Amino acid sequence: MKRFFFLIVLSGLSSLIFILPSPVQHKVHADSGSDSLGRKVSREIQRKVWSGNGSEQVRVIIQPAGLWDDDLDSTIEGSGGTNVRRFHNFQVHIVTLPANAALAIAARSDVAYVSLNREVRSLGHLSITTGVDQIRTTSGTNASGLDGTGIGIAVVDSGIDTTHKAFLDRSNNVRVVYSEDFTGEGRTDDPYGHGTHVAALAAGNGRISNGQYVGVAPNANILNLRVLNAQGVGTTGGVLRALDWIATNRDAYNIRVVNLSLGMPAIDSYRNDPICRSVRRLVDAGIVVFAAAGNNGSDQEGTRLYGHIHSPGNEPSAITVGASNTFGTDGRGDDGVASFSSRGPTRSFAVDQNGAVTYDNLIKPDIVAPGNKLIEAQAVNNVLVNQNPALDAGVSPVDNRKMMYLSGSSMATPVAAGVAALMLQANPTLTPNLIKALMMYTAQPLAGFNMLEQGAGQVNAAGAVKLAQLVRRDLTSTTNIGEPLLTTSDVPTPETTIGNQTFTWSRGILLNYTYATGTDLITKYQRIYRIGGTLGEGIITGDGPISTNPALLSEGIVTGDQILTSNGIITGDGTPLLAVACLLTNNLFDGNVLSNGIVTGDGIVTGDGIITGDLVAMAQSATLNGDSSSTMTAERDDGSDCLDY
């Protein structure tokens, strides 16, 4: 994935920089004549009208307040609307019409929100260091171990080179079981080069270089849904069409996991963002959705930046993944968060009826996973390598055996998605919320990094699958809170050993604005694990202390009141970074919370109404991106197929 930056030049500031607005609420321009209209239309549409360009054609997404009304179709047609696109599963329409008309349609009582069809771009020793090898049976052609068999992973990206050896099963059948293009280019291969690498990290086999580059779930089925074109660029509408296809076909292909290694600036609140809302629909249907956090964790001078989580990574129900750096070692004692990985909190916002802006300010990412200079499958003749030859890892001269380097949260996301596929193979009854909770509970807290950088910690496949196998398979929506969650009364030892190093699990989960700890999280059933809700739903916020909802969380769970910098032991141990209450009030910018060097701004780049934010085309060169001291060692391929993976 590309690394992107906002270039900010300010003097006399400390090295800790937040790209966040101050204060939490402020008035929005209301030239439309309605103080309440601002909460129903994205700001860039308003700016186009205010700047005198209201007659300019824009491509917009219209979300109705309820069911779609035929009268709304008539209004769109009468307003000059063209090229209308409808969806099978989502109550949204995409249409081209003048900006003035879009603003007028937003004022209708039967319309909930109108936003631009924005650009979406890709964000720019694995099996050992993640703990996957500990849960996989290695016995040649005997695929009796956990390898993702039967699980469908939808890779929504730039396409997949299905001729690459990485996507064969042990019987030489291609595991990319379906491909469709949503870019309009009429092709499903990968001329850009991003999607092939992503798919192989999640589910590539170990045929090349004697299993050195085996993916996390090497026998899972892959759904190739191409939404990024030959330049690595797509649209919101293209992503919506792909997610709509998933909702329709999930049962036919047993799609249990969706990987979104792409993103755009998170401007609209997740409550209004059409992709976030569609992700929520998929999660409510039982599909686990993984989203990349973004690659905006630092500027070109290396200064840390906060508040750059991308959409749809700002969606609470998604599992948002940041990138960690293994420094090329199997042991995890030296691991840290990659310098480029985007930090929270989320800064998408909504406008209320009084014109006041409220920022989501959710704790994200949820977890981190290895994402620095990983070697995986290289699509033939792809743009990334052609423009940056150093990305070729030099593994093989044969096109369908070539491997390449890439860095980014785009690479970390499929690693985590592959772990979820293993968990679902081990226990198909797991809900998306339970998978998210187990992954966070068993994660490794990385010392010296706070919750806005690493979430609950670095993914631990061995621990997550271990717990998944112990979860009861008879849990339903009617299971009472506090009933046993596991099939055993013996609580698993909360630690894992990888590379001769033992680390403790985080033993906590994140809940939107706070975190929760306690063994009840894995020994007793919690209502927040059900389908149709989110983990953060069990938290009560207000003027007083943050507490748990007794109808959704049992008494043995404790919530924290501080965002912490971890000491590397468990969730709740470490140095306070800022009070949880600061995420809910105006106090985040009082000058005493973090430092005096806080840069304010809402991350919006003004221009012709198309929000590109930090979408600067920067090549993912192994010499330019990632941390230079942590390049994986490339193992040459001898040309023979290894089936012992």
Residues labelled as active-site residues? 157, 194, 410
Kind and range of the H or E run holding 112:
strand 111-116
Kind and range of the H or E run holding 368:
strand 367-370
Q: Whose structure tokens read 């943050």?
A: 546
Residue 587 backbone dihedrals phi, psi, to 5 degrees: -80, -5
Contact 443, 451 (CB under 8 A): no
CA distances from 42 to 59, 120, 389, 611 (A): 12, 16, 40, 11
Cα 61 to Cα 40: distance, rounded to the nearest angstrom: 12
Beta 176-181 vs 233-235: how paired, if at all?
unpaired
Cα 149 to Cα 217: distance, rounded to the nearest angstrom: 8
Cα 298 to Cα 308: distance, rounded to the nearest angstrom: 10
Cα 155 to Cα 318: distance, rounded to the nearest angstrom: 15
Q: Let me know how long the chain is.
A: 645
Contact 348, 362 (CB under 8 A): no
How far from chain centre, in Å, is Cα 436? 12
| Strand spans (E) along 421-513 | 495-498, 501-504, 508-511
Cα 611 to Cα 599: distance, rounded to the nearest angstrom: 20
Select from 155, 159, 206, 179 the least CA-distant residue to 381. Answer: 159
Token pair listed for 363: 């704790």
CA distances from 257 to 157, 209, 222, 579 (A): 14, 28, 10, 34
Beta 176-181 vs 221-226: how paired, if at all?
parallel
Cα 416 to Cα 428: distance, rounded to the nearest angstrom: 17
Token pair listed for 96: 């081209």
Angle between helices 236-249 and 274-284 (to 10 degrees): 10
For residue 103, the SS3 value is helix
Cα 114 to Cα 62: distance, rounded to the nearest angstrom: 5
